[in-house]
Structure 1
Amino acid sequence: MKTKILTHKPKMPWRNGDILNLKRICRRAERKFRKTNLPVYYDFLKDQLKTYNHAVKQARTLYFSNLITNNKHNPRFLFKTIDFLLNKDFNKSIMPHSQTACEDFADHFRSKVNAIRSNLQPVHDSNPSRSVALSLPEETLESFVLVDAEMLGRVFSQANTTTCLLDPIPTSLFKTFYKFFESEILNIANCSLQTGVFPSACKTAVVRPLLKKSNLDPKIMDNYRPVSNLPFLGKIIEKLVFIQLHDFLNEHNVLEKCQSGFRTNHSTETALLKILNDLRHNYDSQKLSVLVLLDLSAAFDTVDHQILIDRLSSRVGLSGTALNWFHSYLTDRHFFVSMDTRSSGVHEIGCGVPQGSILGPILFNLYMLPLGDVIRRHGIDFHSYADDTQLYIAVSPDDLEPVRLF
């Protein structure tokens, strides 16, 4: 018996009814030419193909133009769209999808972080009372407010539909039948907020190796970065905590004003505008600018948990159940590497903010708060975007002594 394999190609969203009609006209013109082999039908076919290709190009351009305009405040979506337009394939890999490969990747990712931490100077005393004087908020956040069904439903509806391997059912299905589980989810969330304990089942991350750039050698492990995925329910609880923490930080002006990363109404654009404006101001004042660009290696993955907890207590003003919740959230976390149907063993995570989490970025910003105080004490201007920090000073052309000290 003869068999035939049919390949289903996904329909391109810009292929509307007009384009499909033009394609049918081209098909008919092609069949007419093949049947008669007359030059007149060949010319007609060329004209129709030209019209069709022009219509496809216009429709595709209009589609992506509207897509970019409608998502101009969503950097992740924009970068994903650009990668699609550039035909970048970051999923290619000739690494064998075996359990051995998964274990090798797990060991590689752990050893990379351990190597960086081993080169850091040990912190002999993280007691905030013995450190430099810090501006403490007058109010403290001792506990979280329990949420109602309306708040939970709003967070649930806005959550991404990304499914984790550890989720019992697909996230899209979970969201569809959310009302059937609403009371149970609300009880779990409020129990976590009230007791200061983050569910242990939501502390394990599924890590997938992803090639950093499509033109890199996929045989070299250093060319991969870990992409972490966390259980969906854990992200819902994180978001509920994030909302209350974010409101508290904004109310008491705790966040670093010279930090543009992971903040509402801030972006790489605002960071660039701030630095560029300062440099132009120096130029207008007939001064030279000395700029130093800093980039911390694996900054998010090497965050010390105890220092972060101390920071949340002494600098941010968390205490009581709220502080206990973050201690529970950060500790006893694990990960395993998954490639297709193969997985590594489960390994403990002893440092870093959880990758792929809701709270990770804002916790990193809070962890880096003292950096601004240190830089300001030396009379240096700066601006940061996440772990990228730009230091700059203005000097007179006749006096370069500050450059030597800098």
Structure 2
Amino acid sequence: MPPLYSTSDLHSLNNHMRPDCINILRETGLLRRPPHRGSGRMFNYNFSTPGSIPSIWSCSRTATSSLRHHNKRQVHLSNLRPLPQSSQPVMKQRHLKLALLNTRSLNNKSLILNEFITDNNLDFLCITETWHKPLDYFSLNQTTPAGYTYMDKPRPEGRGGGVAAFYRKDIKTSTISSPAAPSFEHLTFKLSGPTPLVTAIIYRPPKPNPSFPSDFSDFLTQLSAISPSVLLLGDTDCKSATEFRELLHFFNFTQHVNFPTHSRGHILDLVCSTGLTIHHLSSFNLNIPDHLAIIMDIDIPIPTAKDKRTISFRNLKSISPSALSASLTSKISASPPPLTDNPSDLTKYYNETLSSCLNQLAPIKSKTVSFTHSAPWYTPELHKMKSRKRQLERLHKKTGLTVHLQAYTDYLQQYKDALNTARSTYYSHLIHSGSTNPKALFSTINKLLKPSNNTSNSFTTDKCNSFLSFFQTKINTIYKDLSSSPAPTACTPSPAAPLLTSQSLSQFSPMSPGELPKTMKGMKTSTCVLDPIPSHLIKDSLPAISTLITEIINSSLRSGLVPHSLKLAAVTPILKKPGLNPDIMSNFRPISNLPFLSKILERTVATQLKAHLCSNDLLEPFQSGFRSQHSTETALLKVTNDILLCLYIYI
């Protein structure tokens, strides 16, 4: 244990004369310490002043430190100019992970491939031999994980064949239309960027075709003209076809697969590229198809993806009908509607009042979301089975024994059956519980059987303006045809035909507040984005605003004017058929959605039109004119639309 010193002992040591060896130690440099990196000063032991604790800091910097700091200060920041901020998306080398697989029927392997995409964090999964038919999207939807979408090209007729690609939604892709080749099937698309990457998925049937070399040569010529970076993926016997290898060499393509990709030891899969580098090419045995999955990495400059985005929403479930009715009543009593017969002013007051109450009860909130949702039917039991499957897979790879391979294969089949059973049970219960809710039922069926909407992600501002110009041109053409068409001639009834009626519908009758609930009873609660408040909330709070709605309808019927805000419609372009080119405007059908108040006006006119037809015995002739195509209610609404269309155009 070291000795303990008192205060007097420490003072005596401080006044103690330095030993004779201090000078010798200082001359030999043993008391010298290296310079401090922060200041460049040297430690200097100066005992010239007896009776005090000397300072060990020097008063000046060393020559070395001065030179070092001088060199650091040679850069003049005033000579630097800040780089201009660019509005273009930042381009960087993005790491893409791709996989290729020949599935030999996608129908019984969809859920396993779904997990294969998510477990390996794939950006693209390109598959051949899907065996799906045109307009058959069930197996494709099952394979697509959350946050992914797909593009496909089935075989037009016959069984077998078919190619598809599953990819992340945040990667911008566009299909390339090319003429179909009789000797092979292909799906071609490109990724956006300064140098677009053109990718083609190819499937060549096993039967020999003498036209394949010429068809494939024309195909490669077209791809090489689009971009210098081309990637070919697919299934073809490239080891036995000398002419095929010569074609690849002529177009500077490199075949990267040099290991067996089939269970019988053949090289049947094609991974060829030109103008880009492929890393970490390897195989993965799924033990379901007879082909191995080929996994690879590619570095390509594309815009950086935004994993999260900010959305705006309202908590509409927090609004109770009683609270909304009380808010509307107090709002209308505090600021009554204007005393005018102009329907536009009344409609403006209606929209402002309902919007104000909605903002008060359910204000707009913002939230950052990533849209990564797991499958709702995936149970904890399936998670345990998946863990067990991975244990057996690792054991088989570690030992390589046949018994472990058989155990892994058998358990994989059990896991696949459990996945199918869990998914079927979930959707069966969902369809059974939604049998009384047509909206939920059709939404579930469409999710299972309809193709995913790949066009909504490509709607830019320029494309929306192009749609506006395209549809405006069509409307102007209709106006021009209407104005140039001759006036209809009055037809003279035959002597045998009796005169049906002598009364005419010259004006509409006003509607009472009691008739409004009957009119709205059979209306759907579909909401338009132009509505100030959701339609179901209007029905829930109808007693508080029935008088205001009735006054707007009667004002429009008396004046023969339709308010300008009720003439506006939200137009949504929808592809006429799946698989059409989304860059061609004529391939879209415009679906217009009118405000809810405009639909009430339409239903009111249709009701009075039907009453007029019934009172004058005109309903039966009217029905016979539309019986082949439409029901009576649909026909009345079509005629009502024509009547209101005249008000929209000419007033």
Higher share in helix: 1
User: TM-score, structure 1 length as denominator?
Assistant: 0.50
Compare CA radii of gyration and give the structure with the larger one.
2
- Structure 2 length-normalised TM: 0.33
Higher relative contact order at CA 8 Å, sep ≥6: structure 1 or structure 2?
Answer: 1
